[in-house]
Structure 1
């Protein structure tokens, strides 16, 4: 009985503290926040959303219809301002990009475990640390010289990908797209980050851990009520155990690469798996960088930054490829048009290079239409204002979560003709011809974000999607499994994926 009383007193104290924070944030003085649904005391709209038992995007769609293109939700200790219209998104991310370039304070103990106190490009608040990390990433991985220097990595991984598809088709009669594409993009990014060629089994182990981390970091009740952290100790304990496994899996790659660098690039028994020359791996730059407020990075920070690069590029590219192939399987005429373009450019058996895909407009149109019709996520990562500012005639306080809902952009009939149709031609002669996917000239689709927080590897992800799709269509004709047509129903994981993963029969092209 005494223990129960103690527990009740603790809960009361926690909720009083939560109530004080909520009142402090919302009740001191009237603020011109965007309108929004009335909430419950202390927890706002949090339990109202949970009790609906449907995904958050459907709640947002309903609220948009009621409150307009910008509205406010109080989710526990977090104030969310939801922005949904093209004009307001462009105003926030481009016209006022510097003001909305930060991240809201994140007190989730689980995310802080995996980000080492937000030492990530995506999560770091706008300031010197973020600038230093992002500048280093762009100069080391995204400059044209480095992309050309690392073309052999893509060729090696894509060649393995094609062999794996053939083997799987001969064993079971069909191939599963998403698993193979994830494995290949992950292998490319592991090699880009650590400069190594490692076995497929080790790549699979890395991929499994990354998938577990993504699931662990998805929004949970604890994220909106961090004041209740003591009641969720088992989740925090599980996160720490997963972090330990991540360290065991990836730190040896960091240490081996460091030994390789310190030896002047001379491989030995320990570093024999090193394949990239000195300076060509992303991790090489992390050994030298000393970002503001951090100094020389330790193994945990280096691990976090490399994992971030692998995570960001693996699922987004693989998911795009699955959706693109879904439409090619369903529309054989579209697939034949693409195949003819590939043959005209490089021949039936010619090698496809980075420069070749730039000469294939229909290929590019298919990938762009895939990003439009099936964006990797329906929200961007949360933004936050660096200071109190105005948006759409409303006051946006500094530090609140500004959530950019991008799915509506691709569904808006005022911006797209027949938006529910998959029509690559719209990017050749239609309403997509002048679309800028970076959002600078206007916002019609944002698969990679926009402004200062645009995904720094967006061009690399697009390149990987183009290369893999071209190679797969050049080598194979993709057809549905008899009596098992693909189901386009989507579901929500880290990215928006097919609920029933795409399986297809592949027929080798005639030489």
Structure 2
């Protein structure tokens, strides 16, 4: 974002003097509304220059000065930032309906077929229909359980790759990415799509989702996105993904296999399209948008959560020892930990809760937008205000968490706090109407893989430099350097 902001600062200089001169003449018409506290802003770019490469960290620091509910300006767009449990609860529960829409963002608009997906579509009847389809037909408990054989297959394949390494260096991050990608591909499309070309397409897709689009926040400068090549890159990736999905859809339409047990998500969506007589027509682009949603959410955040949890265990031998003790007691020498065993493992679940607390996959969640004027904590919030929930800052709030920077899974052993959207201290998947509907799909993969990894192998970091905890930039915060370990089979 920094190079783009340098360009914007340069472009804004001619406007600054004129705007400062005009400021006094308009001061008498200043609104009487009681707006939330705001940091000083620059003309044209607002507070964009203050976000840096890690917006969640910058906003946390600003909140310490301006409070847990503050109003910033990203370009010409007013943005309400919530950084406390109470503020998040007001937005995502008390006034959830008013804050359930999404702002228009140029890059998601290109990648998700004019936002015909679930995550980025505006709140309304269309969103309700596609969310219902996903919850009832794609992500229900029964449907998630029906793909157990896929998870078992891919997990077994990964364990075999580690075993064949025979104690030499293993890149766990690569294996996690491959496993989650294969699971999502097989569940969604019916078969795995490995290979460098497909992986590169997914990487470019996720990178674009995390890019800053000038035109989304300063519409008059949308040409900057064209000049920088951002729009061209987004168009190219969208075209490549569309061509890939067209082939997939044609294969499914023309295939002869009608076995119910072998149906994947594309089959289910096409069946819904054919058989639905309730007045809602599921068009081809809608199907593709839903599949893209499942890829972007199902692959990226899943392996990220697994990677950070494993990383923290390697940094904290006592926690690793405690988890190994639990899985050994449950496994009792059997070849594998099964999905039926997972609910008997409170420490495993505590490890993931603590990992998600310290390393919230989407630190600012997906932006929301208010649809009405509303009073919030005594402040006037105008309709059309964009809203960011700093879930990362809330999860490290010292008024909520004891020793918030420390990895302590034990804190969850006697705590009712969970990540499913009912406890606003922990919001890795959001909450309310716009909470992630795929929590169970993601977490059963994570728990199964980590339980078996610890059950089957003793892991040790390769090298003497320790664990690099650097983060990448983007909508999802990944670990910058891969986890490389030696894995010795447990006797």
Per the normalisation by structure 2, the TM-score is: 0.88
Q: Is the Cα contact below 8 Å between 2:209 and 2:475 reproduced in 1?
A: no
Taking the TM superposition and a 5 Å limit, the aligned residue runs for 1:399-478 are: 399-429=384-414, 433-440=415-422, 442-478=423-459
Confirm whether residue 311 of structure 1 aligns to residue 311 of structure 2: no
Among 341, 345, 350, the residue aligned to 2:335: 350
CA distance in 2, matches of 1:256, 1:128: 31
Q: Is the Cα contact below 8 Å between 2:44 and 2:218 reproduced in 1?
A: no
| Deviation readout 1:263-301 (Å, 9 max, x if unpaired) | 4627xxxxxxx9823778554456448799983312x33
Taking the TM superposition and a 5 Å limit, the aligned residue runs for 1:103-502 are: 103-104=102-103, 106-108=104-106, 110-167=107-164, 169-170=165-166, 173-194=168-189, 196-198=190-192, 200-201=194-195, 204-218=196-210, 219-233=212-226, 234-260=229-255, 263=256, 265=258, 276-277=262-263, 281-285=267-271, 287-288=273-274, 295-298=281-284, 300-429=285-414, 433-440=415-422, 442-502=423-483
Change (3 A) 1:199 1:391: closer
CA distance in 2, matches of 1:496, 1:229: 26
Q: Is the Cα contact below 8 Å between 2:144 and 2:440 reproduced in 1?
A: no
* 1:31 alignment counterpart: 33
* 2:8 alignment counterpart: none
Cα distance, 1:86 vs structure 2: 0.5
Change (3 A) 1:66 1:246: same
Greater shift after overlay, 246-255 or 80-89?
246-255
Q: Is the Cα contact below 8 Å between 1:286 and 1:297 reproduced in 2?
A: no
| Deviation readout 1:345-382 (Å, 9 max, x if unpaired) | 23333333222111111111111111112111221111
| Deviation readout 1:389-432 (Å, 9 max, x if unpaired) | 11111111112111111122221222212111111111113xxx
Q: Is the Cα contact below 8 Å between 1:119 and 1:301 reproduced in 2?
A: yes
CA distance in 2, matches of 1:414, 1:77: 33
Change (3 A) 1:292 1:490: farther
* 1:507 alignment counterpart: 488
Q: Secondary structure at the match of 2:70?
A: strand
Cα distance, 1:32 vs structure 2: 2.5
Q: Is the Cα contact below 8 Å between 2:177 and 2:299 reproduced in 1?
A: yes
**Cα-Cα RMSD:** 2.9
Per the normalisation by structure 1, the TM-score is: 0.84
Q: Secondary structure at the match of 1:302?
A: helix
CA distance in 1, matches of 2:268, 2:464: 46
Change (3 A) 1:330 1:230: closer
In the alignment, structure 2 segments of 5+ residues that lack a partner are: 1-10
Q: Secondary structure at the match of 2:409?
A: coil
Cα distance, 1:445 vs structure 2: 1.0
